[in-house]
A and B are shown apart, each in its own frame.
Chain A
Amino acid sequence: MKAVQHNSFKDQKVIVIGLLAVFASVLFYSVSGLHVFGVIEKGSVSEQYLLEGSNLTGSTNIVNSIVWDLRGFDTMGEEIVFFTAALGVALATRRMVPKKKKKVKVKV
């Protein structure tokens, strides 16, 4: 009985290590494809933002223009998440009013 448990535990370990190795290799592969920090690639979206961002959105703060204008739909989703979190806190800490018990009149 004990040997069987030990074997299954060992199998689990092998599976977990294999999965972790696959996950790590995928992560390293995706990271190795990133471009060099500080160098603008031609034809990338970052070049587009830096060169034409202030003309597209009319604002000189590029970060703000990306967050609130070019990616404005995503920011709206963030705001909805925040709104829902606040509503959840208000719901969790609201004051519960207990129902009044009806007095039962007993006829004698």
Chain B
Amino acid sequence: MDLIVKQVTKIVFPFMVLYGFYIALHGHLTPGGGFAAGAIIGSAFALLVIAFDEQDVEHKLTVHELIDLKSVAGFFMILIIGKMGYSFRAVLIESQTLFNLWSGGFTIIMNVAGTFMVSSAIVLIIYSIEKEAWKK
């Protein structure tokens, strides 16, 4: 891609990821949630993959690493932490007050787990398609 796109991506990328985590952590107070936050973080990584060439990106990640680390981690976060959240929900809600950041009981945990899951799936899809395009 262009020099302009590369420089703008370098500047914008951390803010996009930060905004995604903001949406995830405030999902129980403001509009948004796990799906939207995961889509924002995934789009940030998609911008990174599209803007830079093969030699810049491919040394840092491989498809197998992505499958191993991120997707499976998010998947098991949903399963295990979600199960824990259901069993400790009453205890969680008792320790919280409404309208604070630390509120929402089980929702806040599930939002973060869903963010990891959705963002990792989007990164996996875009990275595998883009890698196929680089080969040709």
Contact = CB atoms under 8 A, between A and B. Distances in A.
Interface string B68-111: 00010011001100100010000011001011000111111011
B80 to A, nearest CB: 11
Contact of A79 (B67, B92, B117): B117
A58 B121 contact: no
Interface stretch (B8-16, B27-35, B46-54): B27-35
Dominant SS among interface residues on chain B = helix
A76 B103 CA distance: 21
Nearest to A65: B107
Interface string A53-85: 010011111011101110010011001101101
B124 A79 contact: no
Given A60-B28, A68-B107, A86 B121 contact: yes
A43 B111 CA distance: 30
B33 A89 contact: no
B35 to A, nearest CB: 8
Interface residues of A, number: 27
A14 B124 CA distance: 49
Contacts of A94: 63, 128
Nearest to B92: A58
Contact of B106 (A69, A85, A89, A93): A69
Contacts of A107: none
B96 A58 contact: yes
Given A58-B98, A94-B63, 18 more contacts: A57-B93, A58-B103, A58-B104, A59-B28, A59-B103, A61-B28, A63-B31, A64-B111, A65-B104, A68-B33, A68-B111, A82-B121, A83-B74, A83-B121, A86-B121, A86-B124, A87-B71, A90-B63
Interface of A: 54, 57-61, 63-65, 67-69, 72, 75-76, 79-80, 82-83, 85-87, 89-90, 93-95
In the complex, the 8 A-B pairs of residues with the closest C-beta atoms, listed nearest first? A59-B28, A59-B104, A86-B121, A58-B105, A58-B93, A68-B110, A93-B132, A59-B107
Interface of B: 27-34, 63, 67, 71, 74-75, 78-79, 82, 86, 92-93, 96, 98-99, 103-108, 110-111, 114, 117-118, 120-122, 124-125, 128-129, 131-132, 135
